[in-house]
Amino acid sequence: MSSEQIRLGLLIALSFVSLMLWEAWQRDYSPAPTTPAAPVDQDTTPAITKSPGESLTAQQPTPATGDADTFVSIETDVLQLRINLTGAVIEQALLQQYPTDGETDASPYALLNNSPVRYFIHQSGLKATAGASADHHARFTATADTFVLADGTDTLAVDLVWQSPSGIRVTKTYRFKRGSYEIEVAYTVDNAGPQPWSFNHYDQLQRTNHKQRQYFIQTFTGAALSTPEKRYEKHSFDDLAEEPIGVDVKDGWVAILEHYFVSAIVPTPGEAYHFYSTIIGEQNYAVGYYGPARTVAPGERTTVQSRLYLGPKLQSVLERVAPGLELTVDYGVLWFIGKILFWTMVKMHALTGNWGWAIILLTCIVKLVFFPLSAAGYRSMAGMRKIQPRLLAIRERYQNDRAALNQAMMDLYKKEKINPLGGCLPILIQIPVFIALYWVILESVELRQAPWIFWIRDLSIKDPWFVLPVLMTISMWLQSKLNPAPVDPIQARVMQIMPFAFGIFFAFFPSGLVLYWFVNNCLSIGQQWFITRAAERAA
């Protein structure tokens, strides 16, 4: 391994370590955002105005603690919802096909949850211009307290009804489809009263600024807004505290993201809605939208609709829900490489039925694609290995004259037609692929709790027995033995330490990523051995 390779390897390690230290410092010492506290009795319904852009106010609702008939339970093949009839608020959403923890907690993951630790709910309603409103404080009624998607049926509709003393009847209908995390929400307004009834439809998600403790690279938790001009724009909770959202959008959506999952509200396309964010109390954040004013004349009926997505970040599903929603699976600045890697992994998974073997096949494909460039680098390293004795002799001759030493080495490289930097090429090629694959494994919900073989039960977390990091360390050590020894004894010692340093560093990386690096090393050893032997025979 040349001195340039060692410097490059150390630079990579230093960059990762620096990033980890910075994020650890941010996590432990960055100040929490200060937000204004709201009065306890302040109205929680958005203060909808006819002039878009005016401020909105909201307040943290007090969790209901009524009798059993206060709630309605809805169950499909993928979702379990609990709706509070006071406001028809979704206070809990369980994802039946996604366990909380595959090893210790097999209960469904609670995406929405009305709990003090992780408060996250969905609120929507019709805010009347005057008089009583069918908002998230109004009392709705239901024909039953439990609704289940029956076997043999593909759809389920649940009606919740609100009736005003003035003759306004609002039916809030939740529609579900088998296998779908997308929920259609419709409001049907029947005006049986003597006066017109005007209202604005609104929809919002409310969540505490709670982040799960994470190590190494931090995944994003916060809001996202989509407009036709910018299909995906992230807003952290800290950003929302400094600069709230307030924009009129046609054909957009707003969401709250967390690792692997997304909760998104999508209004009816074709109309302009005012999207907003607001701080509720001291730690709650709400993002949502409200629509234009509508009027229902006496004896008439009208319907407004929206869609709600509560589920995993499945790209193939999200892109059908709303334009740009698939971008919530964020692969960072190297997203274009990440998209290719993920697409290839999906195809390999279709062949193998196992994400671990899919990663192995992906590694083989990457090595095959870059084989010509890698071969050129290995041939350069074989040339360096060939002239190693002469380099040692030059170093001995000019050990007290650095300028003469460098000149003599450059003359030898030129004479033998060897590029001393050529050995860096295989490493340089792998860096963007490695980083992109890191984000693919970290962000793709398909790999969450995905097993490989034996002890590897979750490719998205570290190897519990550290077997893969040990194997990777051994493979790096074997690969170093195929490289020419550095002329500088200090560099030679660094090269001996590097495999073990990287092994310790990789011990806490997702096992799927360590699997990729281990297989990549094994393939590199085979390629380098073959090319080196061929070069020696040709000499």
- Residue 52, domain member (yes or no): no
**DSSP conformational letter for 455:** T
47 has pLDDT over 80: no
Q: 88-102, 281-295, 376-390, 458-472 — which is least confidently predicted?
A: 376-390
Task: For residue range 170-204, list pLDDT tens digits in order.
Answer: 999 999 999 999 999 999 999 999 999 999 999 99
Of 196, 224, 168, 204, the C-alpha closest to 45 is 204
Q: 115-119, 284-288, 443-447 — which is least confidently predicted?
A: 115-119
Q: What is the pTM of this model?
A: 0.83
Task: For residue range 278-321, list pLDDT tens digits in order.
Answer: 998 878 999 999 999 999 999 999 999 999 999 999 999 999 99
Q: Cβ–Cβ contacts within 10 Å for residue 21, how many?
A: 10
Q: Using the structure block, give the residue that is written with the tokens 């929302």.
A: 240
Q: What is the mean pLDDT of the chain?
A: 84
* 513 Cβ contact list (under 8 Å, min separation 6): 434, 437, 438, 441, 506
Is residue 342 domain-shared with residue 304, that is, in the same domain?
no
Q: State residue 211's pLDDT score.
A: 64
Count how many domains the chain has: 2
Is residue 323 domain-shared with residue 343, that is, in the same domain?
no
For residue 95, the cross-strand partners are 79, 109
- Average pLDDT of the segment spanning 359-380: 85
Phi and psi torsions of 76, nearest 5° = -120, -170
Quote the CA–CA distance of 244 and 38 in Å, as a whole number.
16
Q: State residue 396's pLDDT score.
A: 78
List Cα–Cα distances, 40 to 11, 45, 85, 126, 282, in angstroms.
53, 13, 21, 22, 11
Q: State residue 24's pLDDT score.
A: 39
- Residue 148, domain member (yes or no): yes
Q: State residue 420's pLDDT score.
A: 66
Is residue 367 domain-shared with residue 498, that is, in the same domain?
yes
| Sheet of 261-267, strands arranged across | 155-163, 168-177, 182-191, 301-312, 261-267, 253-258, 222-226, 233-236
- Average pLDDT of the segment spanning 442-452: 93
Is residue 409 domain-shared with residue 533, that is, in the same domain?
yes
Structure tokens at 340: 């290719």
Percentage of residues in the chain having pLDDT higher than 70: 81
Last residue of a domain, one of 330, 358, 376: 330
Containing H/E element for 188? Answer: strand 182-191
- Residue 518, domain member (yes or no): yes
Task: For residue range 227-246, list pLDDT tens digits in order.
Answer: 999 999 999 999 999 999 99
Q: State residue 159's pLDDT score.
A: 98
Quote the CA–CA distance of 191 and 297 in Å, as a whole number.
7
CATH number at 108 reads 2.70.98.90
Q: State residue 168's pLDDT score.
A: 97
Is residue 395 domain-shared with residue 475, that is, in the same domain?
yes
Quote the CA–CA distance of 374 and 450 in Å, as a whole number.
31
Is residue 256 domain-shared with residue 295, that is, in the same domain?
yes
Of 76, 127, 130, 80, the C-alpha closest to 107 is 80
- Residue 36, domain member (yes or no): no
Quote the CA–CA distance of 213 and 288 in Å, as a whole number.
27
Structure tokens at 60: 């943290």
List Cα–Cα distances, 150 to 80, 129, 154, 229, 300, in angstroms.
14, 40, 8, 42, 34
- Residue 55, domain member (yes or no): no
- Residue 42, domain member (yes or no): no
* 421 Cβ contact list (under 8 Å, min separation 6): 2, 4
Q: State residue 447's pLDDT score.
A: 93
Q: State residue 403's pLDDT score.
A: 86
Is residue 342 domain-shared with residue 313, that is, in the same domain?
no
Last residue of a domain, one of 330, 348, 365: 330
Is residue 369 domain-shared with residue 457, that is, in the same domain?
yes
Q: DSSP H helical segments within 186-252, as ranges?
A: 237-242
Containing H/E element for 304? Answer: strand 301-312
- Average pLDDT of the segment spanning 211-215: 57
Is residue 300 domain-shared with residue 358, that is, in the same domain?
no
Last residue of a domain, one of 330, 354, 378: 330
Region of residue 353 (phi > 0: left; psi between -120 and 50: alpha; otherwise: beta): left
- Residue 265, domain member (yes or no): yes
- Average pLDDT of the segment spanning 482-488: 65
Q: 146-155, 207-216, 400-409 — which is least confidently predicted?
A: 207-216
Name the residue with higher pLDDT: 494 or 365: 365
Confidence of residue 485 (pLDDT cuts 50, 70, 90): low
Task: For residue range 60-86, list pLDDT tens digits in order.
Answer: 343 444 454 599 999 999 999 999 999
Q: State residue 55's pLDDT score.
A: 33
Of 383, 355, 530, the C-alpha closest to 447 is 355
- Residue 27, domain member (yes or no): no
Is residue 241 domain-shared with residue 158, that is, in the same domain?
yes
Structure tokens at 122: 């969905």
Is residue 364 domain-shared with residue 326, that is, in the same domain?
no
* 68 Cβ contact list (under 8 Å, min separation 6): 145
Find the distance separating the first CA and the last CA of the chain, reported in whole Å. 20
Query: Does residue 465 sit in helix, strand or coil?
Result: coil
The length of the chain is 539
Is residue 341 domain-shared with residue 305, that is, in the same domain?
no
Confidence of residue 488 (pLDDT cuts 50, 70, 90): low
115 has pLDDT over 70: yes
Quote the CA–CA distance of 284 and 183 in Å, as a whole number.
24
Q: What burial class does residue 77 get, using C-beta atoms within 10 Å of its C-beta: 0-12 exposed, 13-18 middle, 19+ buried?
A: middle
Q: Using the structure block, give the residue that is written with the tokens 């090893």.
A: 103
Q: Which domain holds residue 283?
A: 67-330
Per the CB < 8 A criterion, the answer to whether 313 and 329 are in contact is yes
